[in-house]
Amino acid sequence: MARRRNTPPAGNTPPAANTPPAAATPSAGNTPTSTPGRTTRSRSIPPVPTPVSSTPGDISSPVSSPIGNTFSSPNNVTSSVRKRGRRGMETPPPPPHSRFAATPDGSGIGGSGGGGGDSPPDTSTPGSGGNGPSSEGEDAEAYEAPPMYVWGTSISVQDVNAAILRFLKHFREHPSHDEGKYMKAIDSVIEMEGESLEVDANDVFDYDNDLYTKMVRYPLEVLAIFDIVLMDMVSRINPLFEKHIQARIFNLKSSTSMRNLNPSDIEKMVSLKGMIIRCSSIIPEIREAVFRCLVCGHFSDPIIVDRGRINEPTMCLKDECKTKNSMTLVHNRCRFADKQIVRVQETPDEIPEGGTPHTVSLLMHDKLVDAAKPGDRVEITGIYRAMSVRVGQTQRTVKSLFKTYIDCLHIKKTDKSRMNAEDPMETDESSTQNEQGIPMDHEQLVEKLKELSKNPDIYEMLTRSLAPNIWELDDVKKGLLCQLFGGSALTLKSGASFRGDINILLVGDPGTSKSQLLTYIHKLAPRGIYTSGRGSSAVGLTAYVAKDPETGETVLESGALVLSDRGICCIDEFDKMSENARSMLHEVMEQQTVSIAKAGIIASLNARTSVLACANPSGSRYNPRLSVIDNIHLPPTLLSRFDLIYLILDKADEQTDRRLAKHIVALHFENPENSEQNVIDLQTLTAYLSYARKNIHPQLSDEAAEELTRGYVEMRRRGNFPGSSKKVITATPRQIESLIRLSEALARIRFSEWVEKKDVLEAFRLLEVALQQSATDHATGTIDMDLITTGVSASERMRRDNMVGLTRNIIMEKMQLGGPSTRLLELLEELKQRSGNSELHLTDLRNALSTLASEGFVVVHGDSVKRV
Amino acid sequence: MVGRQYDCLTNPLGAVRFTFDKAVASGSDPASFDRKDWGVADIFRDFLFDNDGLAQVPILTPSTLHVVQPNSLVRFRGMIQDMLGNEFYVGAYKNEETWNTNKFSDVAQFPMGPSPDMRVWERRLLYCVPVPGQNTWADSASEGVIHTYATSANREKRQRETCSVSDEMDIQDSSNETPNSPRAKKMREGESVPQENMTDATDCSTSMAPEFDRNSFPCLVKIYDTPESDLKLNDVFEFIGVLMFDTDVKDDKHGENEMANCFDEEESVNLPSSKVPRLHCLVHRKLSVNDMISISPTMEPKPELLRGIRDSLLRHLTVVLGDDELAAHFMLLHLLSKVHVRVDSVAVGKLSFNLSGFDKSSISVFGNRINDAIKNLLPYSQRMPLTVDYLNTASLAPVKDYQTNRLVPGVLQCAEGSHLTVDETPLQSGTLNNNGVENARLLKDLMDFQKVEYDFKYYKMKMDADVQLLILSEGKSNILPADIVLPFHPTAVGPLGNVDAETLNAWRWYLATLRSLTYSIGTEIQKVVEDDMVSARKVDRSLGTEDFNRWLTMGRLMSVSYGEACLSNEHWQMVKEMERLRKERIK
């Protein structure tokens, strides 16, 4: 005894061997005839204490299956059949020898009846009954044994058997395929000497709805039959194939959340998602034990685990010896199987507010052991089981508790970390599915998104939903929205490619929430890297060659830009970046590749990334006396690669201040739900975004193309303003590309396949607003600070346009060309009368006049206006 | 009305079973009782609230644990510290043709044979602890009740703790009287309480008395039929239910059932009932501060009355703060602050307060005075001396321990409305390690967003918090930028004088009641506020969102401190004046 305890594998097993088996199991379980009854009980009322059944042996019975092939005794086939029968079954099978007699050839489907314990008590010889026909019968349909039912239900074993066979033989993914999907799969499993066949539950559902329902509701029984059918088929295809093949079901139609598992799910097939938090060490579980007599050295026949325990022979079986209590376990002749207990926890998104994550235990066997590591996100399919908590024999009280766990059938890693995803958009798509729970919802989601896109207001709505806590800056947000949606990349046959990514530079005074915008976009973008310019070196951004310390080989390590391929690379403090590092961006931003030529590695890596950079003006604050270019102070080569350059200037403006004040007061006193009802939540926004990026590829309409040409020509002309020299950002062919990209993005926002004229117009507007171009005096290249209207809303702009028009009319009527000047106050009075709005302010008028002045229509001198 | 055949107090399970039998007899199918109540809650509610039974129910504390008997009705007041998921149990079963129930009980009354007539139901497990930082006045409410109950209960039956019950109780009681210095010390040392509980949890002893100490007296509450959203982490509840001591699963360990052991690294092992009593909850109710005040003054919140209390409280605070009246005003607003709404990441309503200008001598005088004053006024308060060493070693955030499957509490896991005083004066220059940086970030997050990041190892989860933060520092605290920074200018260290219990209770009631007052703003004053902001920004461009937010919060708290539900111009002007005075001091 003592010796046995000291050896590791025995640690798990010997206690079982020592106790008389009958003590723990209800006596009913001991004779084969009563087996069916027991199965049944466990089926209808799941967790009866009978679940002695749920003692280790039974739960882990699948473990035993693969061993059939390592064990080459004459009865190997039989033993594997037996195990098949038990696979996943809660009920212990009848003692092996009874099975022996029942299914001598091992291929009998009838074995399933006995093995699965599915035969009703009256068919006392299911084995022999099923044997004959099955061995010659080609199809299960031809099966003629007396009907057997899954206990407590009207599910006929034969029917299920036939249904499974039909499914395996005839299911085709596509009508045009000649060979069934699973027949092919079985062939390949045989070829690979695999141990399991993965069965997509969706296929089962599509092929035979009824079978699917049965499988989910009575997984123990149906899976047992499934395995037997599989084995049967395999042995017919290749009689020499000895391995046991298990069916691994995955991809159920509906998955539950851990939180919603309840008593009614016990003994049902469930599928859930979670994160693995802990794996136990691998537990070797004894399957077959061999004993040796200490006196005569006689080895016993292998004793198979029965209901989780080994019946230690009390005396030597050798006729000459017959010594009592002399048998000892021989470890290295026993067979063990792997078992592991894994704990899975809810993923953060499933946890309701004010709750802590739930966990559930998983039982893994064989191949599933170590299939996933702590930290992995997984999708599990398994059978939910409950096991009564047993109280020691000394205690009289009965515990009424159950421990629950999932007997794992299939595990799928769903590693959705943004970086590892093959296609970021794809991932996002599926992760939104995940949130919805069922893939079916995908269609609903798409419908919902399409519905959303029909909203005439969608552009404004999305703008509002973008970083709602960053206040104002509407136009900047619109630009960022365009960046998120992106234009379509185009590769011509000639090999020339045009990027679809939009690059944006934010230049602005300190404290104008640039960095906040950046972090927000970083969070929202399908994939992205956030770096700070000051801390980034050229190689850190692109790629560098490093020596692997172990092998000494040179390896290429990707930098931030490469890592954010197909995403957005956010660079903060762009101006503080070293010249060297910044120059690396030239290639990335136009060619979208990173080329490396060093240490014998010459490579060109994809870096199809949008760059979102932000910088302070040179000298930290914007200096209105300097030109825009001088203020930004970045090389024009780099500047021209940005599609949109936003000047975010902090300017004293009573209206902005008032809006800020209003905003804050509202924050404190209004019900936030009411005030922001029109905002799309982050999840929908992400879903919308990824759907648009994936499915919408807008093209330019003729009308739009015309508008583009016209606008571009005008821009060029404006750039040629006499005396402008190089102080103004002039339009280059790059600009027209930007405009195309922007208009495409705008069309995408509407889920429109065509770029329309209004998109182009908006693109022009965005471009203009971006650099405050409307406020730039083209003569000097400086910005008239009074004109800066960052983030003016559309209505406000309309109002201002009206003002300008109205003022122009008044001046046209009242004043002579070159005539005497008029005082501003008089004009204001007139304006008030005409507009019928007495709330007009002098500043409004001044704004209007300065617009007119920039057109060369009037000259403003202090308080007087003169028409020229 | 069902006459009470069973004494709800001593035999609550009898009442449960009685109603069950009655329901079955009236023809209901026991299977349909899953997640439903068959009238138990009504009986107990009726008994507790309509017939004044509540006062007779003993409160479960370390000192009363010896007195109360298993299977009797008890109350437990505590904070939900962790949720241990759901538990399946045999809800109803048949014993010789009659249905029985196991609801509200751990063990079955009759032997349960394997039978098909067995219904599995589920219940939730909540791990509750006494509210961290609970001040003595807030839980002294129970003492009186216990003694009367103890004498009335027949002592003979209590065989389990024959060992000098009375002595035990005396000791415990006296420890109750002392201010909760042991706990404060604990905090300082950064020990997390349940951990120590767990290390020696495996050996199960039959005597349960000595293990409990005042500071860690957890209770495993089993909740039935309650929607998940009702009970949230860190909520403070009073649970009334059946006290029970689990039969230990431990015996099983050496038993033949290895399988069970594999799963057994779970709750039950780590929480042996010898250390953690089980409470099968029949009725639960959320506790407000007013429930804590022992002799709750039933006062009408009339303006004159409130004004009187406000003045006296303000005077008291002024004395405490060495005649610094401005500081006292700010302190009052600070004590009234509460997160009342969250818009995006902004927690509106918080008002953290940084009293700067302390030095070694003044902190020793005023630090304690302030601390004592707060302890007397608020139900839950903690003090944290900030040192490099503390930051480096303390575990501020709750961490999930997957070995034990438990959430190990951190200092920052505290109930809604807790007060935390951070004493920054002992902070010396030094190097922060990883943990230190993390802790500093946690404090700052709490300050800025009123959120605490719980560490679940594989991911972190931000949980909403509502903690009043007071920082005492030498200069302006840069580690913890508070909403209000005020240089402290004490002029005199006057004697505090004796405050009678009634006044104290009035103050407590005042703070508790007014904090939860609803509040709005009229359109006119709204205009005034906006104008003021615009003109202020004209003068000083550096004024930003935070400043305006602070003004409005202060405005709100100012009116609330007078018990008014609407901001008046007068109060707004007071706020502006306070801000002006504060600005002057900062210069």
ipTM of the prediction: 0.72
Given a contact cutoff of 8 angstroms between Cβ atoms, the answer to whether A271 and A257 are in contact is: no
Residue B114 is nearest to which of A12, A50, A652, comparing CB atoms? A50
Residue B530 is nearest to which of A351, A353, A661, comparing CB atoms? A661
Spell out which residues of chain A touch residue B257, defining contact as CB-CB under 8 Å: 24, 55, 390
Distance between CA atoms of B74 and B13, rounded to whole angstroms?
A: 12
The more confident residue out of B437 and A513 is B437
Q: Are strands A754-755 and A699-700 parallel, antiparallel or unpaired?
A: parallel
pLDDT, tens only, B44-79:
887 777 777 777 788 877 777 777 777 888 888 888
Spell out which residues of chain B touch residue A393, defining contact as CB-CB under 8 Å: 255
CB contact under 8 A, A665 and B538: no
Interface test mutation site (partner B, options A664, A670, A680, A843, max chain B beta carbons within 10 A): A664
What is the average pLDDT across A857-868?
Answer: 76
Which letter does DSSP use for residue B110 in this model?
A: S
Span A17-249 CATH architecture: 2-Layer Sandwich (3.30)
What is the average pLDDT across B543-567?
Answer: 83
The CA angle B376-B381-B384, to the nearest 5 degrees, is: 125
* Closest-approach residue (CA) in chain B for A471: B545
CB contact under 8 A, A266 and B120: yes
Can you identify the CATH homologous superfamily of domain A271-413? Nucleic acid-binding proteins (2.40.50.140)
Given a contact cutoff of 8 angstroms between Cβ atoms, the answer to whether B385 and B473 are in contact is: no
Residue A672 is nearest to which of B258, B343, B556, comparing CB atoms? B343
What's the pLDDT at A677?
Answer: 53
Residue B83 is nearest to which of A59, A356, A397, comparing CB atoms? A356
Residue A399 is nearest to which of B85, B247, B456, comparing CB atoms? B247
CB contact under 8 A, B256 and A15: yes
Q: What is the CA radius of gyration of chain A?
A: 38
Kindly indicate the confidence band of residue A550, based on its pLDDT and cuts at 50, 70 and 90.
low
Q: Are strands B219-223 and B118-129 parallel, antiparallel or unpaired?
A: antiparallel
Distance from CA of B166 to the nearest CA of A (A): 31
Residue A662 is nearest to which of B235, B346, B530, comparing CB atoms? B530
* Closest-approach residue (CA) in chain A for B107: A399
What is the average pLDDT across B164-173?
Answer: 38
Interface test mutation site (partner B, options A369, A400, A658, max chain B beta carbons within 10 A): A400
Can you identify the CATH homologous superfamily of domain A444-775? P-loop containing nucleotide triphosphate hydrolases (3.40.50.300)
Which letter does DSSP use for residue A782 in this model?
A: B
What's the pLDDT at A92?
Answer: 39
CATH topology of domain A793-867: Arc Repressor Mutant, subunit A (1.10.10)
What is the average pLDDT across A215-239?
Answer: 81
CB contact under 8 A, A275 and B341: no
What is the average pLDDT across A194-216?
Answer: 81
Residue A731 scores a pLDDT above 70: no
Burial class of residue B359, CB neighbours in 10 A (0-12, 13-18, 19+) = exposed
CA atoms within 13 A of residue B464's CA, in its CB half-sphere: 21
What's the pLDDT at A117?
Answer: 37
pLDDT, tens only, A246-292:
788 888 878 788 887 877 888 888 888 888 887 877 888 787 888 88
Spell out which residues of chain B touch residue A50, defining contact as CB-CB under 8 Å: 114
% residues pLDDT > 90 (chain A): 0
% residues pLDDT > 70 (chain A): 62
What's the pLDDT at A830?
Answer: 80
CB contact under 8 A, A49 and B112: yes
Shortest CA distance to B124 belongs to which of B46, B264, B233? B233
* Closest-approach residue (CA) in chain B for A661: B530
* Closest-approach residue (CA) in chain A for B531: A658
The more confident residue out of A489 and A283 is A283
Spell out which residues of chain A touch residue B541, defining contact as CB-CB under 8 Å: 650, 652
- Ranges in chain A annotated CATH 3.40.50.300: 444-775
Strand residue runs (E) in A490-558 = 490-491, 497-498, 504-508, 528-532, 543-547, 554-558
- Ranges in chain A annotated CATH 2.40.50.140: 271-413
What's the pLDDT at A34?
Answer: 35
pTM: 0.65
What's the pLDDT at A491?
Answer: 67
CB contact under 8 A, A345 and B260: no
DSSP per residue over B413-427, as a string? ---TTEEEEEE-TT-
Residue A707 scores a pLDDT above 80: yes
Q: Are strands A246-250 and A196-200 parallel, antiparallel or unpaired?
A: parallel
Interface test mutation site (partner A, options B88, B117, B338, max chain A beta carbons within 10 A): B88
Q: Are strands B467-472 and B353-356 parallel, antiparallel or unpaired?
A: parallel
Shortest CA distance to A54 belongs to which of A336, A397, A384? A384
Distance from CA of A515 to the nearest CA of B (A): 16
Residue B251 is nearest to which of A48, A392, A660, comparing CB atoms? A392
Kindly indicate the confidence band of residue A768, based on its pLDDT and cuts at 50, 70 and 90.
confident
Residue A387 is nearest to which of B83, B260, B403, comparing CB atoms? B260
Spell out which residues of chain A touch residue B235, defining contact as CB-CB under 8 Å: 354
* Closest-approach residue (CA) in chain B for A394: B251
pLDDT, tens only, B210-224:
344 445 678 888 888
What region, left, alpha or beta, does residue A486 occupy, with left being phi > 0 and alpha being psi -120 to 50 degrees? left
Residue B256 is nearest to which of A24, A261, A387, comparing CB atoms? A24
Q: Which of A59-68, A260-269, A692-701, B523-532 has the lowest mean pLDDT?
A: A59-68
The more confident residue out of B405 and B553 is B553
Interface test mutation site (partner A, options B120, B236, B547, max chain A beta carbons within 10 A): B120
Distance from CA of A287 to the nearest CA of B (A): 15
For B53-75, letters b (16+ CB in 10 Å) and e give bbebbbbbbbbbbbbbbebbbbb
Distances (CA, A) of A386 to A59, A90, A264, A613, B309: 11, 11, 11, 56, 59
- Ranges in chain A annotated CATH 3.30.1640.10: 17-249
The mean pLDDT of chain A is: 67
Residue A391 scores a pLDDT above 70: no
Q: Which of A385-394, B14-23, B169-178, B320-329 has the lowest mean pLDDT?
A: B169-178
CB contact under 8 A, B556 and A668: yes
* Closest-approach residue (CA) in chain B for A662: B530
Distance from CA of A620 to the nearest CA of B (A): 15
Kindly indicate the confidence band of residue A131, based on its pLDDT and cuts at 50, 70 and 90.
very low
Residue B548 is nearest to which of A361, A386, A661, comparing CB atoms? A661
Interface test mutation site (partner B, options A399, A469, A681, max chain B beta carbons within 10 A): A399
List, in order, residues 6 or more apart from A136 with CB less than 8 Å away.
Answer: none
List, in order, residues 6 or more apart from A264 with CB less than 8 Å away.
Answer: none
Residue A583 scores a pLDDT above 60: yes
Spell out which residues of chain B touch residue A399, defining contact as CB-CB under 8 Å: 106-108, 247, 249
Residue A396 scores a pLDDT above 80: no
Distance from CA of B195 to the nearest CA of A (A): 19
Q: Which of A194-203, A284-293, B176-185, B265-274 has the lowest mean pLDDT?
A: B176-185
Kindly indicate the confidence band of residue A725, based on its pLDDT and cuts at 50, 70 and 90.
very low
Given a contact cutoff of 8 angstroms between Cβ atoms, the answer to whether B556 and B549 are in contact is: no
Token look-up 């309650």 returns B226
* Closest-approach residue (CA) in chain A for B83: A356
Distance from CA of B182 to the nearest CA of A (A): 29
Extract the tokens encoding A419. 């970086």
Distance from CA of B34 to the nearest CA of A (A): 10
Shortest CA distance to A282 belongs to which of A360, A344, A337? A337
Distance from CA of B65 to the nearest CA of A (A): 23
Given a contact cutoff of 8 angstroms between Cβ atoms, the answer to whether A199 and A362 are in contact is: no
